[in-house]
Structure 1
Amino acid sequence: MRGADLINPALPDELLDDVIRRVGSGGAKRDLDACALVCRRWRRLERASRRSARLAASGERADEVVRLVAERFTALTEVSVDERLTAAAAASGSAPRSYRSGTLHIPNRIRRRRRLPLASNLTLHIAPFPLDQPVSDERTERSCLTDVGLTHLARGCRGLEKLSLVWCSAISSTGLVRIAENCKNLTSLDLQACFIGDPGLVAIGEGCKLLRKLNLRFVEGTTDEGLIGLVKNCGQSLVSLSVATCLWLTDASLHAVGSHCPNLEILSVESDRVQSVGIISIAKGCRQLKTLKLQCIGTGDDALDAIGSFCPLLEILSLNNFERFTDRSLTSIAKGCKNLTDLVLTDCQLLTDRSLEFVARNCKKLARLKINGCQSMESVALEHIGRWCPRLLELSLIFCPRIENSAFLEIGSGCSLLRTLHLIDCSRITDDALCHIAQGCKNLTELSIRRGYEVGDRALVSIAENCKSLRELTLQFCERVSDAGLSAIAENCPLHRLNLCGCHLITDTGLTAVARGCPDLVFLDMSVLRIVGDIALAEIGDGCPKLREIALSHCPEVTNVGLGHLVRGCLQLESCQMVYCRRITSSGVATVVSGCGRLKKVLVEEWKVSERTRRRAGPVLSFLCTGL
């Protein structure tokens, strides 16, 4: 009967709560919001089912907003607060449009009504001040979440398990003490770039005995005493720890971690003050380590020898900017850590082919290898990887000027499972290397070549004929690539992402082939293609309806007419970069803004934007800084 309530009398709270949870678990935010609007009972149950909240809670009423959230959604177990989100949005004025990207903007006039339903994974975006007012440093400083708001959160959401406070500069030990007193079930705490003191960390250790994950990247205001006090109290439960760019960190902290955290599995340390003795303490005390990321200039071979001797379960190892360790230590790791699957070596100048040979022979499970700026390594190193590591899935070589084509003959014949290949500033690599890869690694899905001045069409034709699963292709400043190679790729590989920046031989013909052969393209960078014009944009508009991002900066032949064709066909477009396009005027910018309903970012010269366009689309406009 019309007007009769046939559901509420028949369904108990438990059953209705289960229905709402199932709606939320499916990610149907609008359906969940609709549930909250049915009646007060449904709204109450919907709020009680909420488990996670993402708050960009910066602003003059930030603490009040957090209080309201804590009072209404008492069942929250996961809360994330990131001050950077609102600061960036407010500066650009983009807050009102951010709902499309999963961030809900709530104006003050609506928020005061107190009846707004929110999505299942709650995300609040509170603009810190009216967008038409200038931003002052003084106002920005006091417009952020403080210990008062954190206290409300602690007292209202006592079941909190995961808390992330990123760049919350006004948070101090006082707020953390309240969290420790009320949130005994806390298992994950992220304090990135927060200025806190030792009492806060000590209190967390004393009150949160279940803590498993702790992030202290860029944390200031504390000393070794804070971290030592924390791990002494809850080190037994700690599984993941990240401490980076903290000037206070010394070997004393690492010694305490090694002594009190026997179950630690993930550790990231970046410090100029840590010496070998601290890393040795970690290796001896944390023998369950599976992931280790180090950037410690002061450590040497003794530290890494200890890791190889005492951490046999290690799977992921990243060594960055080591100036003192040599082949000896990496050889020790290779012999002791036979489960290694991921290895990153960045600016390790003293390493040679010999150490990577030991890695290849002993670590047969190696799946991902990244070598960045290790200029002493030559082709022999990769030849060993190709012979002994058949499970390799990803290979990245960045600024490795001594590696030649012969290395890729072994990679192609021995690593048939390879799916991702990045070659950046590898000056000696030519078409021959890519042909070896194409013929042997037919499962390749992502290929990125930057400044490959000796790579041309022959390589692309071989890849097109052999790697039918290729979905992402980057050819930045590969000056020998022309329409012939690109057409072969477009005909055989239905790309999703394509970067042709600086490939100056590409013309409208090549991009026409892409438009007709890659209908699922979502990203295209055609910057610095000086002979590409409106024909290419018209073809892309007709053939790539799923395109979301396009960069066409430094394309002098592109005009307003081409932009018109583009936006009529690419209705999903979210980002457009078009600086230094001399034939694009304010009319073309207005065409893009008015024709793309999903637009989130337009990068253009400020003088090309009319006042009408600025009023209409101010939040999505980004301007090139020409005065620097």
Structure 2
Amino acid sequence: MRGADLINPALPDELLDDVIRRVGSGGAKRDLDACALVCRRWRRLERASRRSARLAASGERADEVVRLVAERFTALTEVSVDERLTAAAAASGSAPRSYRSGTLHIPNRIRRRRRLPLASNLTLHIAPFPLDQPVSDERTERSCLTDVGLTHLARGCRGLEKLSLVWCSAISSTGLVRIAENCKNLTSLDLQACFIGDPGLVAIGEGCKLLRKLNLRFVEGTTDEGLIGLVKNCGQSLVSLSVATCLWLTDASLHAVGSHCPNLEILSVESDRVQSVGIISIAKGCRQLKTLKLQCIGTGDDALDAIGSFCPLLEILSLNNFERFTDRSLTSIAKGCKNLTDLVLTDCQLLTDRSLEFVARNCKKLARLKINGCQSMESVALEHIGRWCPRLLELSLIFCPRIENSAFLEIGSGCSLLRTLHLIDCSRITDDALCHIAQGCKNLTELSIRRGYEVGDRALVSIAENCKSLRELTLQFCERVSDAGLSAIAENCPLHRLNLCGCHLITDTGLTAVARGCPDLVFLDMSVLRIVGDIALAEIGDGCPKLREIALSHCPEVTNVGLGHLVRGCLQLESCQMVYCRRITSSGVATVVSGCGRLKKVLVEEWKIENVVPDVVSEVMTK
């Protein structure tokens, strides 16, 4: 019978609670919100079943908001608070957005006045403003989460297991003490960029004996005493620790970690003050290490020799900016850490082909290799990888000027499982190298080439003929690539993401082929294509209905007409960048803004939005 309630009388609380929990287990916040709106009973049960919350720490009454959340959702076990988030971004689950002077958030009152059908969280970015500097005007000051709000959270959600406090600059040790007193089940704590003193960390160690994960990246206000006090009390349970860019960190802290954290599996350390003795303590005391990421300029071969000797379970190793790190220690690691699957070497200038040969011969499980700025390495290093590492899945080479085409003959022959290849600023790489890869690595799904000045159509044709699974392609400033190569890719590879920035030989013909051959395209960067015009945008609008992001900055031939065709077909569009397109006016911007209901971000020059949202522009201009 219409209007009759057939569910509530039949289902007891236990069954209805189970239904709501199953809805929540799929991660669909919108569905949970819908359940809460059915009736008061459903709202009560939904609140009691809610396990996670993501909150913005900035805005008016931040502490009050946290208090209300803690009172109404007492069963929360996972809370993430981020000062970089707006309330709208936290609710939508979008990525954090920095507060910048060139960023405009359009208030609802202006949307109603102008009657623009905008998305609820559209952001306009004005190009001429310094986008990397915060707004300093007093009117932009906002309240933040303080120890008061953290106290409400601690007392209201005593079952809390995971707590993330990112860039919450107004909290102190006082708030952490309250967490330690009330949340005894805490297993994960993220304090990135918080100003926390030693008493807070010591209290966490004393009160949270189950703590397994701790992030202290960019944490100021504490000293070695705080971390030492923490690990002395809960070091036995700790399995993951990240301490980066903390000026206070010294070997004393690492010695304590090595002494009290025998079960540590993941460690990330970035410090200019740490010496070899601290890393040696870690190696000897934390023999369960599986992931190790180090950026310690003061350490040398002795420290890494210890890693090779005492950490046989190591699987992921990242070594960055080691000025005293030579072939000797990487050879020791290769001999002792035979389970290595991921290796990142960044700016290790003293490494040569010899050490990578030992890695290849001893670490047969290697699946991901990234070499960045190691200028002493030559083609022989990669030849060894190709011969001895058949499980390689991902290879990234960044600014490796000595590596030549011959290396890729071995990679193509021996690494048939390769799925991802990044080549950035590798000046000696030509079409021959890519042909070797295409013929041997037919499972390739992602190819990124930046500033490949010797890479052209022959490489793309070979990729198109052999790598039918390619889904992501980046060809930034590959000046020899033309419509012929791009058309071959579009015909054979149904791309999802395509970046053609700076490929100045590409015309409307090439992009038309993409539009007709890649209907699942969701991302397109066609910036700095100076001879592409409205025909390309019209074809993209007709052929790529799933497109969510497009960048067409510095395209002088694109006009308002092309934008009109684009938005009529690309109804899923969320981001549009169109800076320095001289033939696009405020009318074109209005067309994009009013025609895309899901639009979240637009990057334009200031004068082009004066007629679209003039009140907002004048407001920013006064800052």
Q: Please state whether the residue corresponding to 1:242 is helix, strand or coil.
A: strand
Partner of 1:453: 453
**Alpha-carbon distance, 1:325 to partner:** 1.0
- Deviation per residue, 1:514-555 (Å, 9 max, x gap): 111111111111111111111111111111111111111111
**Greater Cα shift, 110-119 or 497-506:** 110-119
**Alpha-carbon distance, 1:3 to partner:** 5.3
Native 8 Å contact 1:418 1:444 kept in 2: yes
Native 8 Å contact 2:54 2:91 kept in 1: no
The change in CA–CA distance for 1:596 and 1:385 in structure 2 (over 3 A counts) is same
**Greater Cα shift, 324-333 or 33-42:** 33-42
Partner of 1:129: 129
The change in CA–CA distance for 1:527 and 1:511 in structure 2 (over 3 A counts) is same
**Alpha-carbon distance, 1:94 to partner:** 11
**Alpha-carbon distance, 1:582 to partner:** 1.0
Partner of 1:138: 138
The change in CA–CA distance for 1:335 and 1:114 in structure 2 (over 3 A counts) is farther
Native 8 Å contact 2:470 2:494 kept in 1: yes
- Deviation per residue, 1:104-141 (Å, 9 max, x gap): 99999999999999999999999999999997665766
What percentage of aligned pairs have identical amino acids? 98
**Greater Cα shift, 41-50 or 74-83:** 41-50
Native 8 Å contact 1:82 1:167 kept in 2: yes
The change in CA–CA distance for 1:338 and 1:571 in structure 2 (over 3 A counts) is same
Native 8 Å contact 1:95 1:105 kept in 2: no
Aligned counterparts of 2:96 and 2:196: Cα–Cα separation in 1: 32
Q: Please state whether the residue corresponding to 1:328 is helix, strand or coil.
A: helix
Aligned counterparts of 1:118 and 1:301: Cα–Cα separation in 2: 58
Aligned counterparts of 2:27 and 2:177: Cα–Cα separation in 1: 35
Aligned counterparts of 1:52 and 1:121: Cα–Cα separation in 2: 22
The change in CA–CA distance for 1:586 and 1:619 in structure 2 (over 3 A counts) is same
Aligned counterparts of 2:132 and 2:409: Cα–Cα separation in 1: 61
**Alpha-carbon distance, 1:21 to partner:** 1.1
Q: Please state whether the residue corresponding to 1:334 is helix, strand or coil.
A: helix
Native 8 Å contact 2:124 2:603 kept in 1: no
Partner of 1:236: 236
Output the TM-score relative to the length of structure 1: 0.91
The change in CA–CA distance for 1:179 and 1:118 in structure 2 (over 3 A counts) is farther
**Alpha-carbon distance, 1:42 to partner:** 1.6
Native 8 Å contact 1:96 1:105 kept in 2: no
**Greater Cα shift, 303-312 or 592-601:** 592-601
Native 8 Å contact 1:58 1:126 kept in 2: no
**Greater Cα shift, 529-538 or 75-84:** 529-538
Output the TM-score relative to the length of structure 2: 0.91
Q: Please state whether the residue corresponding to 2:374 is helix, strand or coil.
A: coil
Aligned counterparts of 1:43 and 1:125: Cα–Cα separation in 2: 38
**Greater Cα shift, 113-122 or 270-279:** 113-122
The change in CA–CA distance for 1:262 and 1:108 in structure 2 (over 3 A counts) is farther
> Does 2:619 correspond to 1:618?
no
Partner of 1:267: 267
The change in CA–CA distance for 1:216 and 1:273 in structure 2 (over 3 A counts) is same
The change in CA–CA distance for 1:292 and 1:102 in structure 2 (over 3 A counts) is farther
Native 8 Å contact 1:330 1:355 kept in 2: yes
The number of aligned residues is 622
The change in CA–CA distance for 1:28 and 1:622 in structure 2 (over 3 A counts) is farther
Aligned counterparts of 1:153 and 1:4: Cα–Cα separation in 2: 40
Aligned counterparts of 2:333 and 2:570: Cα–Cα separation in 1: 51
**Alpha-carbon distance, 1:378 to partner:** 0.2
Native 8 Å contact 1:603 1:621 kept in 2: no
Q: Please state whether the residue corresponding to 1:241 is helix, strand or coil.
A: strand
Aligned counterparts of 2:362 and 2:419: Cα–Cα separation in 1: 22
**Greater Cα shift, 569-578 or 222-231:** 569-578
Partner of 2:284: 284
Native 8 Å contact 2:125 2:602 kept in 1: no
**Greater Cα shift, 231-240 or 1-10:** 1-10
Aligned counterparts of 1:2 and 1:480: Cα–Cα separation in 2: 68
Native 8 Å contact 1:602 1:620 kept in 2: no
**Alpha-carbon distance, 1:617 to partner:** 6.0
Native 8 Å contact 1:52 1:122 kept in 2: no
**Greater Cα shift, 44-53 or 578-587:** 578-587
The change in CA–CA distance for 1:496 and 1:53 in structure 2 (over 3 A counts) is same
The change in CA–CA distance for 1:190 and 1:64 in structure 2 (over 3 A counts) is same
The change in CA–CA distance for 1:302 and 1:123 in structure 2 (over 3 A counts) is farther
- Deviation per residue, 1:74-108 (Å, 9 max, x gap): 00000000001129979999999999999999999
Aligned counterparts of 2:496 and 2:101: Cα–Cα separation in 1: 20
**Alpha-carbon distance, 1:31 to partner:** 3.7
Native 8 Å contact 2:450 2:477 kept in 1: yes
Native 8 Å contact 1:206 1:233 kept in 2: yes
Q: Please state whether the residue corresponding to 1:395 is helix, strand or coil.
A: strand
- Deviation per residue, 1:236-262 (Å, 9 max, x gap): 000000000000000000000000000
The change in CA–CA distance for 1:147 and 1:120 in structure 2 (over 3 A counts) is farther
Aligned counterparts of 2:174 and 2:48: Cα–Cα separation in 1: 28
Partner of 1:345: 345
**Greater Cα shift, 267-276 or 565-574:** 565-574
Native 8 Å contact 2:215 2:241 kept in 1: yes
- Deviation per residue, 1:465-521 (Å, 9 max, x gap): 000000000000001111111111011001111111111111111111111111111
Q: Please state whether the residue corresponding to 1:155 is helix, strand or coil.
A: helix
The change in CA–CA distance for 1:122 and 1:515 in structure 2 (over 3 A counts) is closer
Aligned counterparts of 2:235 and 2:570: Cα–Cα separation in 1: 53
Native 8 Å contact 2:84 2:97 kept in 1: no
**Greater Cα shift, 258-267 or 532-541:** 532-541
**Uncovered stretches (5+) of structure 2, i.e. residues with no partner:** none
Aligned counterparts of 1:314 and 1:160: Cα–Cα separation in 2: 31
**Alpha-carbon distance, 1:57 to partner:** 2.8
Native 8 Å contact 2:502 2:528 kept in 1: yes
Aligned counterparts of 1:350 and 1:8: Cα–Cα separation in 2: 71
The change in CA–CA distance for 1:55 and 1:399 in structure 2 (over 3 A counts) is same
Native 8 Å contact 2:309 2:333 kept in 1: yes
The change in CA–CA distance for 1:99 and 1:37 in structure 2 (over 3 A counts) is farther
Aligned counterparts of 1:493 and 1:136: Cα–Cα separation in 2: 48
Pairwise CA RMSD? 5.5
**Alpha-carbon distance, 1:12 to partner:** 1.6
Aligned counterparts of 1:502 and 1:294: Cα–Cα separation in 2: 35
Q: Which has the higher contact order (CA 8 A, sep 6+)?
A: 2
The change in CA–CA distance for 1:470 and 1:625 in structure 2 (over 3 A counts) is farther
